[in-house]
């Protein structure tokens, strides 16, 4: 027998996907160039709000190399897409609602012809008055984004009131009040939206695409194409980043439509960076107003908040984003009286949608900076204020849900309190060089996991012992860079006693893997591993039993699975897994398991719309973020010198992946805090590429220290919760609070650009140094 | 498809330029290719300069002068012993230009011919009172920086001419050679404001000579003689620098753009002078 590695272990690195990616061997959706491939692309509106009176396609159609030019009338099924509300056309039929709306789809023999054909299309667009400010959009008489809606431009309004609501503020001896403006943020994944599609001779359409949601895509594309879901196959390779931007349809329906007109040839569509910036969804810009009240001892009593989220032209999960924001609006604290009021509003601005954090970074920014205002007013240490109010297991959270799961916030606070970056903080501040000011800022955050009570949060795992004696793990949830596919192998290897050579991975493919929901909502490994572990265990038990029979063992308990073989422990005899497989019926070699995540039995809001959009959650991760910043008085430039995050995400299955999730979230959150903004006055984006939309470089980031403060989550697989988003919820308020300490005043408009910081400095006394 | 020609000598270059009027010269391409992608310009052909060895030279050639060839990359200059020894202020600028990749690809000549007021090598070269050499098939001429760069994206190059290189005169002893760039981030950042300052002082600390050049606060890099003169005969303290800063703010003509407002640029342009008190003490 060839020498084998020891079986894979849980709790250890490395990332099993790293080598293939680092060496370039891994093929992403964009790496496929099937022979004879056609290129597809769309003509976009370019205007934020305009009636489409007509399209002159003659010149484009006449261009040699153009295979087809398609419009809304060519959509065979329903020309609508969307996850909750189907309000977005695949191709505009009547009017454009934002600059990125697609008007016509072109198929051409090559990219140059495609570009030329798109330029030749003349769109007869009649500009309409647009609506660009969500508050204005709510006023009577405002231009309507969707005329047919009785609620006008209001997409969703939600309100959660507990105790005496806002009235309780009147009894609070200390109340702070502030408004915050949060910017629009771009995902800026490395791999822009793309895929390729082909129609087979049997009429089935296969789409290989960079997506987070293969099974949902299948249903949506089928509906658009007028096909049965089974006639559409979605294949989802590793995605080169997604962060929520591929949670839903990007190019899928267009590719499907193109495939119907390609005469059986493959068709590829791949957005240029400029087009991706223009048309892709962004994090919702938000305006928040907070009133937070406490007693003299700093015990939080009441919160009244109002949040307005600019959802742009389409729902695109905007209602769900708002709802998760509302659920987290009061932070990870005990507050008996809240009035949380949120509105998601249609405008003709760029499209807003899902983005790592999903509505939480906005409210965490407001709540955590309000907490520091309150600490200042009370003369309390900000950490002490959080300590006094931190949620513990068994508490009722601000929206009225009893926390039955693991709740490690207090332990995170103690880790930070004991850390040298916090304890030595005041001394470090005093050592600021001349002309520099230093500050420390904290943020405590929580993040709910999964879909909430209505949408079934389900995964179906499948494992097969192949005829070759290798375990094939069918992973139904996309790996967009988080590393969950590798973790699946690790889990299977641990249970089945296999090394990497004994395992084979099947990435999501609606023909091969089973429906397991989206890669989103900090749910991916929690839900999928909860299905995978029982599937692997069931298969293991079956193999041990059949192996025991074959080897005349007294009981399966005498058998153990090792890499490539089964061993009878008392005798030391071994049976090759290939041999064992040949003794089994194919049906016996496969095990699958369906898992549905538990649902909170409490209903904090009777509003069915809020429930549908995800309220409430029952399992939360927690984190405390600490930023130490230095401000240059001459330029207003901010340097984040040190960063610490202590997080309770339940048990850590792979410390390397866990740390990368934290660091990636913090890095993206620091961009949100200091740099990133996507202004679009009158609906017209000002940043056309990554030279003007700036994201942090490695030189802009400090060393990000990550401390795991693991609890054991009983509902989780091996005690795990989610770690995908908690890292991005804290950086903006942590930096904001640190800047407030350095500057002596709070900044309410993010990002905290040098210009805004210098303006604040101009209004404060020069430092003593 | 656009043809790319790669001459290996100046003689070949002149022939190609004559044969392909309207062709664009390609140095590292880090500006040109970005512009072409944006649809700015559609030259019928590109003529690459990378194989013309003499354009890449860096040497102390004539007495009193250092020569930096137009095709010298930023990385090459950054590591070159002559630059290290004689032009610390240029090194400071090169060190914050773009990123390692851009410095490997981009050239000094490309930075100058792009003639952006934010070009990082420009302010140091203005302060060093460098000259550029321009050549054509039949002639060569030398111009001061201010005569070469005419405005944003505009140079004195005429059809048939190329930038041959930069001549930097031997420098008197400076007590302070300081470059600072303010960008929106620490790498791959276009300057919002930059300052190149060369200051000489006598034994008692009084300023004897001063050259101050600002980037990104006007259509071209700007020297402000009034601010320079205000420092002469004075110590480099907050009071004298504040006075010079005020004069500079009056003389500069920044604009608003996506990166910063004119008001911010104006204030910071003056503020950057105040850093000298800390560097000089
Ligand atoms: C991501 C990125 C970051 C950047 N960051 C910075 C930065 O921080 N600071 C900065 O200053 N610049 C920056 N740049 C701009 C650019 O890299 C520099 O200006 C660089 O020096 C240009 O040199 P090049 O050799 O690439 O020029 P090219 O792009 O090859 O040429 C630029 C122009 O000059 C002309 N040209 C070049 N050489 C000659 C010659 N010898 N004679 C006549 N004409 C000539 C070309 O025809 C063209 O019009 C950045 C660019 C990018 C893409």
| pLDDT on residue B1 | 78
Helix/strand/coil for A666: helix
- Cβ pair A687:B258 closer than 8 A: yes
Among B10, B13, B27, which is best to mutate for testing ligand 1, by the most ligand atoms less than 8 A from CB? B27
Mean pLDDT confidence for A91-110: 98
The DSSP line for A727-756 is HHHSHHHHHHHHHHHHHSS---BSS--HHH
The count of residues in chain A is 769
Mean pLDDT confidence for A601-625: 96
The residue whose two tokens read 């099937």 is A34
**Alpha carbon of A678: minimum distance to chain B alpha carbons (Å):** 10
B137-196 residues touching A, CB cutoff 8 A: 182, 184-190, 192
Encoded tokens for A696:
């942090």
Q: What is the dihedral of CA A163, A166, A167, A169, to 10 degrees?
A: 100
Q: Is the peptide bond before A182 cis (omega within 30 degrees of 0)?
A: no
Q: In what order do the strands lie in the sheet with A559-562?
A: A559-562, A565-568, A574-576
Whether the per-residue pLDDT at A616 is higher than 60: the answer is yes
| pLDDT on residue A604 | 87
Q: Work out the number of other CB atoms within 10 angstroms of the CB of residue A655.
A: 13
At residue A764 the predicted structure's pLDDT band, cuts being 50, 70 and 90, is confident
Average pLDDT over all residues of chain A: 97
| pLDDT on residue A680 | 98
Encoded tokens for B105:
């690809």
| pLDDT on residue A702 | 98
| Structural domain boundaries in chain A | 18-26+458-596, 32-128+193-270, 356-449+616-762
Among B25, B100, B132, B133, which is best to mutate for testing ligand 1, by the most ligand atoms less than 8 A from CB? B25
At residue A769 the predicted structure's pLDDT band, cuts being 50, 70 and 90, is very low
Among the partner residues B185, B271, B275, nearest to A694 by beta-carbon distance: B185
The DSSP line for A138-184 is TSTTPPPSSTT-TTTTEEEEEEEEETTGGGGGGG-SEEEEEEEEE--
Same fold, A32-128+193-270 and A356-449+616-762: no
Mean pLDDT confidence for A286-302: 98
B66: Cα within 13 Å, side-chain hemisphere: 20
pLDDT tens, residue by residue, B15-49:
999 999 999 999 999 999 999 999 999 999 999 99
In order of A27, A192, A741, the CA distances from A242 in angstroms are 16, 9, 35
> What is the third-level CATH fold of A32-128+193-270?
Aldehyde Oxidoreductase; domain 3 (3.90.1170)
| pLDDT on residue A14 | 87
In CATH, what class is A356-449+616-762? alpha beta
Please state the separation of Cα A345 from the chain's center in Å. 21
| pLDDT on residue A3 | 86
A384-423 residues touching B, CB cutoff 8 A: none
How many whole angstroms separate alpha carbon A540 and alpha carbon A755?
62
**Alpha carbon of A373: minimum distance to chain B alpha carbons (Å):** 28
The residue whose two tokens read 């008996």 is A336
Would the CB of B276 count as within 6 Å of ligand 1?
Answer: no
How many whole angstroms separate alpha carbon B192 and alpha carbon B169?
28
Strands A300-312 and A559-562 turn out to be unpaired
pLDDT tens, residue by residue, A449-493:
999 999 999 999 999 999 999 999 999 999 999 999 999 999 999
| pLDDT on residue B235 | 96
pLDDT tens, residue by residue, A170-201:
999 999 999 999 999 999 999 999 999 999 99
Mean pLDDT confidence for A404-418: 98
| pLDDT on residue B61 | 81
Please state the separation of Cα A126 from the chain's center in Å. 36
How many whole angstroms separate alpha carbon B65 and alpha carbon B130?
9
Helix/strand/coil for A117: helix
pLDDT tens, residue by residue, A659-701:
999 999 999 999 999 999 999 999 999 999 999 999 999 999 9
Query: Are A389 and A370 spatial neighbours (Cβ–Cβ below 8 Å)?
Result: no
How many whole angstroms separate alpha carbon A516 and alpha carbon A592?
12
Would the CB of B163 count as within 6 Å of ligand 1?
Answer: yes
The DSSP line for A318-358 is HHHHHHHHHHHTT-SB--SEEEEEEEEEE-SSSPB---TTT
How many whole angstroms separate alpha carbon A733 and alpha carbon A755?
18
At residue A538 the predicted structure's pLDDT band, cuts being 50, 70 and 90, is very high
Q: In what order do the strands lie in the sheet with B65-69?
A: B58-59, B65-69, B162-169, B131-135, B140-144
The DSSP line for B74-140 is HHHHHH-HHHHHH-HHHHHHHHTSS-HHHHHH-BHHHHHHHT-TT-TTHHHHHHTT-EEEEE-SS-E
| pLDDT on residue B280 | 57
What are the beta bridge partners of residue B73?
B107
Helix/strand/coil for A674: helix
How many whole angstroms separate alpha carbon A264 and alpha carbon B59?
63
Backbone angles phi, psi at B98, to 5 degrees: 60, -120
How many whole angstroms separate alpha carbon A261 and alpha carbon A718?
49
| pLDDT on residue A748 | 97
**What domains can be seen in chain B, in order of their start residue?**
4-169 (3.30.465.10), 176-280 (3.30.390.50)
* CA of residue A476 to ligand 1 center, whole Å: 47
Please indicate, yes or no, whether the overall pTM of this predicted structure exceeds 0.80. yes
Backbone angles phi, psi at A727, to 5 degrees: -70, -25
How many whole angstroms separate alpha carbon A105 and alpha carbon A258?
8
Residue B143: in which H helix or E strand, if any? strand B140-144
* List of chain B residues whose C-beta atoms are within 8 Å of the C-beta of residue A699: 185-187
Query: Are A218 and A229 spatial neighbours (Cβ–Cβ below 8 Å)?
Result: yes
Q: What is the DSSP letter of A225?
A: H
pLDDT tens, residue by residue, A8-18:
999 988 899 99
**Alpha carbon of A401: minimum distance to chain B alpha carbons (Å):** 43
Backbone angles phi, psi at A640, to 5 degrees: -85, 110
In order of A215, B124, B269, the CA distances from B215 in angstroms are 54, 9, 9
How many whole angstroms separate alpha carbon B98 and alpha carbon B79?
16
Encoded tokens for A257:
């439509």
Q: Is the ipTM of this complex over 0.90?
A: yes
The residue whose two tokens read 């064992």 is A580
Q: What is the DSSP letter of A209?
A: E
| pLDDT on residue A762 | 94
Among B17, B29, B31, which is best to mutate for testing ligand 1, by the most ligand atoms less than 8 A from CB? B31
A636 touches chain B (CB under 8 A): yes
Among residues A201, A270, A218, the alpha carbon closest in space to that of A32 is found at A270
**Alpha carbon of A479: minimum distance to chain B alpha carbons (Å):** 30
Query: For residues A77-90, b (16+ Cβ closer than 10 Å) or e, as one string?
Result: bebbbbbbbbbbbb
Query: Are A236 and A478 spatial neighbours (Cβ–Cβ below 8 Å)?
Result: yes
Query: Are A388 and A298 spatial neighbours (Cβ–Cβ below 8 Å)?
Result: yes
In order of B47, B51, B163, the CA distances from B72 in angstroms are 17, 12, 12
Q: What is the DSSP letter of A245?
A: T
How many whole angstroms separate alpha carbon A221 and alpha carbon A589?
33
At residue A766 the predicted structure's pLDDT band, cuts being 50, 70 and 90, is low
Segments of A449-550 assigned E as strands: 458-465, 471-474, 503-506
Residue A596: in which H helix or E strand, if any? strand A590-596
Query: Are A273 and A192 spatial neighbours (Cβ–Cβ below 8 Å)?
Result: yes
| pLDDT on residue A765 | 62
The DSSP line for B190-213 is --SEEEEEEEEE-TTSBEEEEEEE
pLDDT tens, residue by residue, B160-212:
999 999 999 999 999 999 999 999 999 999 999 999 999 999 999 999 999 99
How many whole angstroms separate alpha carbon B276 and alpha carbon A543?
77
Q: Which CATH number applies to A18-26+458-596? A: 3.30.365.10
Mean pLDDT confidence for B53-73: 96
| pLDDT on residue A2 | 63
């Amino acid at each position: 027998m060839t020498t084998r590695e020891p079986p894979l272990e849980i709790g250890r690195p490395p990332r099993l996907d790293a080598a293939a990616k680092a060496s370039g061997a891994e093929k992403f959706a964009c790496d496929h160039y099937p022979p004879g491939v056609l290129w597809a692309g769309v003509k976009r509106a370019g205007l934020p709000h305009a009636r489409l009176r007509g399209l002159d396609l003659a010149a484009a159609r006449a261009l040699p190399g153009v295979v087809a030019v398609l419009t809304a009338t060519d959509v065979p099924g329903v020309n609508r897409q969307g996850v909750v509300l189907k309000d977005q056309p695949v191709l505009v039929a009547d009017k454009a609602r934002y600059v990125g709306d697609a008007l016509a789809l072109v198929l051409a023999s090559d990219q140059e012809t495609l570009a030329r054909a798109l330029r030749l299309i003349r769109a007869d667009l009649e500009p309409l008055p647009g609506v660009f400010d969500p508050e204005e959009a709510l006023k009577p008489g405002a231009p309507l984004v969707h005329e047919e809606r009785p609620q006008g431009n209001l997409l969703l309004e939600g309100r959660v009131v507990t105790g005496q609501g806002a009235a309780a503020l009147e009894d609070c001896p200390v109340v702070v009040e502030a408004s915050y403006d949060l910017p629009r943020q771009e995902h800026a994944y490395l791999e822009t939206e793309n895929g390729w599609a082909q129609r087979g001779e049997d009429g089935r359409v296969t789409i290989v695409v960079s997506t987070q949601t293969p099974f949902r895509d299948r249903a949506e594309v089928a509906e658009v194409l007028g096909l049965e879901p089974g006639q559409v196959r979605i294949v989802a390779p590793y995605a080169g980043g997604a962060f929520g931007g591929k949670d839903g349809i990007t190019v899928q329906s267009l590719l499907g439509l193109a495939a119907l007109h390609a005469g059986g040839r493959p068709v590829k569509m791949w957005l240029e960076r400029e087009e991706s910036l223009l048309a892709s969804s962004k994090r919702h810009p938000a305006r928040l107003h907070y009133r937070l009240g406490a007693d003299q001892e700093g015990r939080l009593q009441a919160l009244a908040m109002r949040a307005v989220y600019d959802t742009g032209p389409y729902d695109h999960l905007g209602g769900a984003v708002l709802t998760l924001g509302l659920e987290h609006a009061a932070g990870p604290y005990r507050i008996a009286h809240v009035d949380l009021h949120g509105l998601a509003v249609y405008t003709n601005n760029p499209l807003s949608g899902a983005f790592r954090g999903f509505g939480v970074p906005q409210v965490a920014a407001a709540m955590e900076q309000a907490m520091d205002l309150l600490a200042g007013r009370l003369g309390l240490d900000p950490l002490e204020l959080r300590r006094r109010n931190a949620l513990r297991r068994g508490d009722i959270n601000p929206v009225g849900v009893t926390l039955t799961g693991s709740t490690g916030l207090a332990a995170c606070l103690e880790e930070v309190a004991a850390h040298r970056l916090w304890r030595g903080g005041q001394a470090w501040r005093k050592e600021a060089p001349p002309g520099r000011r230093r500050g420390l800022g904290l943020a405590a955050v929580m993040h709910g996991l999964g879909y909430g009570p209505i949408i079934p949060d389900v995964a179906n795992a499948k494992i097969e012992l192949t005829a070759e004696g290798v375990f094939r793990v069918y992973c139904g949830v996309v790996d967009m860079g988080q590393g969950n596919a590798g973790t699946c192998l690790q889990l299977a290897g641990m249970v089945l006693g296999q090394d990497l050579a004994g395992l084979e991975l099947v990435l999501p493919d609606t023909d091969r893997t089973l429906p397991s929901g989206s890669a989103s909502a900090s749910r991916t490994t929690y839900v999928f591993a909860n299905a995978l572990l029982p599937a692997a265990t069931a298969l293991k038990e079956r193999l041990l039993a059949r192996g025991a029979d074959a080897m005349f063992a007294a009981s399966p308990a005498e058998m153990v699975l090792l890499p490539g073989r089964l061993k009878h422990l008392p005798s030391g005899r071994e049976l090759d897994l290939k041999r064992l497989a040949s003794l089994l019926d194919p049906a016996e070699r496969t095990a699958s398991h369906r898992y549905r995540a538990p649902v909170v039995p409490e209903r904090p809001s009777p509003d069915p719309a809020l429930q549908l959009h995800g309220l409430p959650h029952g399992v939360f991760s927690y984190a405390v973020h600490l930023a130490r910043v230095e401000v240059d008085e001459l330029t207003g430039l901010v340097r984040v010198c040190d960063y610490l995050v202590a997080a309770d995400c339940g048990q850590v299955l792979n410390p390397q992946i866990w740390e990368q999730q934290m660091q990636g979230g913090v890095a993206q959150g620091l961009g949100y805090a200091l740099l990133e903004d996507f202004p679009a006055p009158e609906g017209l984006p000002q940043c056309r590429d990554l030279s003007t939309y700036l994201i942090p470089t490695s030189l802009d980031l400090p060393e990000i220290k990550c401390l795991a403060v693991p609890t054991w989550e009983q509902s989780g697989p091996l005690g795990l919760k989610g770690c995908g988003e908690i890292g991005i919820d804290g950086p903006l308020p942590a930096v904001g609070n640190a800047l407030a300490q350095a500057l002596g005043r709070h900044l309410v408009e993010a990002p905290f650009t040098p210009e805004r910081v210098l303006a604040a400095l101009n209004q404060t006394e020069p430092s003593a140094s | 498809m656009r043809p790319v020609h790669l001459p290996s000598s100046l003689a070949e270059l002149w022939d190609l330029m004559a044969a392909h009027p309207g062709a664009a010269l390609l140095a590292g391409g880090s500006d040109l290719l970005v512009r072409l992608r944006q649809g700015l310009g559609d030259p019928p052909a590109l003529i690459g300069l990378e194989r013309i060895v003499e354009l890449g030279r860096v040497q102390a050639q004539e007495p009193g002068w250092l020569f930096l060839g137009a095709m010298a990359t930023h990385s090459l200059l950054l590591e070159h012993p002559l630059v290290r020894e004689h032009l610390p202020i240029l090194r400071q600028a090169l060190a914050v230009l773009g990123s390692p990749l851009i410095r490997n690809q981009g050239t000094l000549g490309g930075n100058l011919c792009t003639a952006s007021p934010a070009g990082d090598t420009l302010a140091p070269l203005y302060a060093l009172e460098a000259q550029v050499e321009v050549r054509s098939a039949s002639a060569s001429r030398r111009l001061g920086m201010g005569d070469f760069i005419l405005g944003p994206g505009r140079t004195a190059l005429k059809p048939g001419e190329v930038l041959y290189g930069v001549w930097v005169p031997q420098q008197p002893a400076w007590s302070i050679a300081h470059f600072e760039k303010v960008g929106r981030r620490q790498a791959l950042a276009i300057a919002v404001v930059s300052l190149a300052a060369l200051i000489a002082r006598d034994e008692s600390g009084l300023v004897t000579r001063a050259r101050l050049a600002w980037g990104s606060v006007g259509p071209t890099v700007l020297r402000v003689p009034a601010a320079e003169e205000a420092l002469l005969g004075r110590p480099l303290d907050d009071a004298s620098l504040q006075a010079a800063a005020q004069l500079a703010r009056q003389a500069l003509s920044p604009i608003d753009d996506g990166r910063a407002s004119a008001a911010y640029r104006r204030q910071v342009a003056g503020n950057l002078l105040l850093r000298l008190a800390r560097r000089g003490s």
